[in-house]
Amino acid sequence: MRFVHTADWQLGMRRRVLGARPPKEAAAGVTGEAQARYAQARLDAVAALGRLADQRDAAFVLVCGDVFESNLVGPDVVARACEALASFRTPVLLLPGNHDPADAACVLRRPDFARRRPAHVTVLDSPGVHEVAPGIEVVAAPWRSKHPLTDLVGEQLADLGPAPPGTLRVLAGHGELDVLDPDDDEPARIRRDGVLAALGDGRIHYAALGDRHSTWVDAADDRIRHPGTPEVTDFDEVDPGNVLVVDLDEHAAAVATERVGCWSFVRHDTRLDTDDDLERLDAWLAARPDKERAAVRLALVGTLSLRQRSHLDDLLAAHGHAFAAVEVLPQHSDLATVPDDADLADLDLHGFAADAATELFAAAGGSDGGADTEARDALRLLHRLVGSDR
């Protein structure tokens, strides 16, 4: 039996790095246009995995939680999701997760979703065993609230008898395994020992999980897997953008990882002390592929002159127009700006302008002066303005 294992679509997700914030809080040069392209890419990834399932003759697509970003997504997000699901020829099973739990406000039960939901889409909002085809059962452990107080997967496995002869069983769960989540006070963690025992005695034959946005396989039993999110959502994810195609029998699972995502979120740490360092950063940004679908966060350390800092500002601004986003992380950066005598000479000012620049230079820390941040910022701006007129 073959099926597609996926999770964490989180349709309707908004990312602040892409300008998804109120205009008064928006970062310089970030318009929010990239957010619209990113939202469409998440839908495109869903359509791509649907085509993959059809091409591979999968018995079904199993979505292990967090179909939507929240139960509060707008009707436009719901409508577009249903249009994407309508393009599938393969049956689709949707499990409520922590973002869209099966509570009173569940988006998967809302009238606007129910009206548009294609006939081949089933919501697994009832815990327990579901027969999805002759000889194929899915054991569902949906989230029923945002903060469950028990191991929902463990509850289902505890009361589960052996699979009937000739029947393949897939567990559909959502949440972190205890070996991945160090929080001992989290009652909803999935106990891996219970899952391993159920695989060992034939109560289930594969554990399909969701919630972890990185593609992951358990070293103890490769039938316990997280597919990761089909389109990247954050900078710390490992190998996101995938779905899993699972060929299953009673004894083993052959799993192929298939890429459907096209965006990248990249963090780059670098030291900047010289002109050569700046050129290397410029070259690294220039060499990044698919810039319109890439967000970059920079952690910068080092010491630059005012002229070099002005050059850094210019190159970041220039690259920012090509990328979905380029931002410097202040909390992870330690970049000092220290004026030198060449900064003042490079301005080539005369008269009152030269006198004003000399005073700013002294206040900014040049020639044994004090370290005034506002003076340094003013000199940086002056360097950029003078440079733009040359």
At residue 26, does pLDDT exceed 50?
no
pTM to 2 decimal places: 0.86
Angle between helices 306-320 and 275-287 (to 10 degrees): 0
pLDDT tens-digit readout, 334-348: 998 877 655 555 655
Cβ-defined contacts of 38-43 (< 8 Å, 24+)? 38/231, 38/263, 38/324, 39/12, 39/13, 39/14, 41/231, 41/261, 41/262, 41/263, 41/293, 42/9, 42/10, 42/11, 42/13, 42/230, 42/231, 43/11, 43/80, 43/81, 43/84
Domain shared by 224 and 293, yes or no: no
Domain shared by 124 and 140, yes or no: yes
Q: Identify the CATH number of the domain in which residue 234 sits.
A: 3.60.21.10
The band of 23, judged by pLDDT with boundaries at 50, 70 and 90, is: very low
Domain shared by 183 and 69, yes or no: yes
Query: What is the pLDDT at residue 348?
Result: 56
At 105, list the tokens: 């406000």
Query: What is the pLDDT at residue 364?
Result: 64
Q: Among the listed ranges 49-58, 160-169, 301-310, which one has the minimum average pLDDT value?
A: 301-310
At residue 87, does pLDDT exceed 80?
yes
Domain holding 130, by residue range, is: 2-259
Strands (E), the chain: 2-6, 61-64, 92-95, 121-123, 128-133, 136-140, 168-174, 206-210, 216-217, 224-226, 242-248, 253-259, 264-272, 294-304, 325-328, 334-337
* Furthest C-alpha separation in the chain: 95
Query: What is the pLDDT at residue 24?
Result: 44
How many domains is the chain built from?
2
Give CA separation, 332 vs 51, 281, 300, 337, in Å.
Answer: 41, 17, 7, 16
Query: What is the pLDDT at residue 181?
Result: 82
Mean residue pLDDT of the chain comes to 89
Better pLDDT: 155 or 388 = 155
CA distance 201 to 18: 48
Domain shared by 249 and 286, yes or no: no
The band of 66, judged by pLDDT with boundaries at 50, 70 and 90, is: very high
The band of 171, judged by pLDDT with boundaries at 50, 70 and 90, is: very high
Query: What is the pLDDT at residue 338?
Result: 75
Better pLDDT: 186 or 274 = 274
Q: Are 249 and 280 in contact (CB under 8 A)?
A: no
Among candidate residues 259, 286, 315, the one where a domain is terminated: 259
CA distance 200 to 131: 21
At residue 30, does pLDDT exceed 90?
no
Domain shared by 56 and 115, yes or no: yes
Domain shared by 295 and 232, yes or no: no
Q: Are 358 and 349 in contact (CB under 8 A)?
A: no
Half-sphere exposure of 328 (CA within 13 A, CB side): 17
Query: What is the pLDDT at residue 385?
Result: 57
* Full 3-state SS string of 66-115: CCECCCCCCHHHHHHHHHHHHCCCCCEEEECCCCCCCCCCCHHHCHHHHH
Query: What is the pLDDT at residue 326?
Result: 95
CA distance 270 to 301: 7
Query: What is the pLDDT at residue 384?
Result: 55
Q: Are 77 and 20 in contact (CB under 8 A)?
A: no
* Chain centroid to CA 264: 9
Domain shared by 283 and 328, yes or no: yes
The band of 127, judged by pLDDT with boundaries at 50, 70 and 90, is: very high
CA distance 265 to 293: 9
Residue 221 DSSP symbol: -
The band of 373, judged by pLDDT with boundaries at 50, 70 and 90, is: low
Domain shared by 352 and 238, yes or no: no
Domain shared by 139 and 241, yes or no: yes
Domain shared by 130 and 221, yes or no: yes
Share of the chain above pLDDT 70, in %: 84
Amino acid found at 143: W
CB proximity list for 127: less than 8 A, separation 6 or greater: 140, 141, 142, 144, 152, 155, 156
Among candidate residues 259, 275, 300, the one where a domain is terminated: 259
Within a 10 A sphere around the Cβ of 319, how many other Cβ atoms? 18
* Chain centroid to CA 188: 22
Indicate the length of the chain as a whole number: 390
Among candidate residues 259, 290, 314, the one where a domain is terminated: 259
Q: Which of helix, strand or coil describes residue 126?
A: coil
Better pLDDT: 299 or 388 = 299
pLDDT tens-digit readout, 202-229: 999 999 999 999 999 999 999 999 999 9
Query: What is the pLDDT at residue 183?
Result: 75
Query: What is the pLDDT at residue 369?
Result: 43
The arithmetic mean of pLDDT across residues 335-364, rounded, is 65
Better pLDDT: 376 or 134 = 134
Domain shared by 237 and 338, yes or no: no
Query: What is the pLDDT at residue 186?
Result: 86
Domain shared by 296 and 249, yes or no: no
The band of 41, judged by pLDDT with boundaries at 50, 70 and 90, is: very high
The band of 28, judged by pLDDT with boundaries at 50, 70 and 90, is: very low
CA distance 191 to 189: 6
At residue 286, does pLDDT exceed 90?
yes
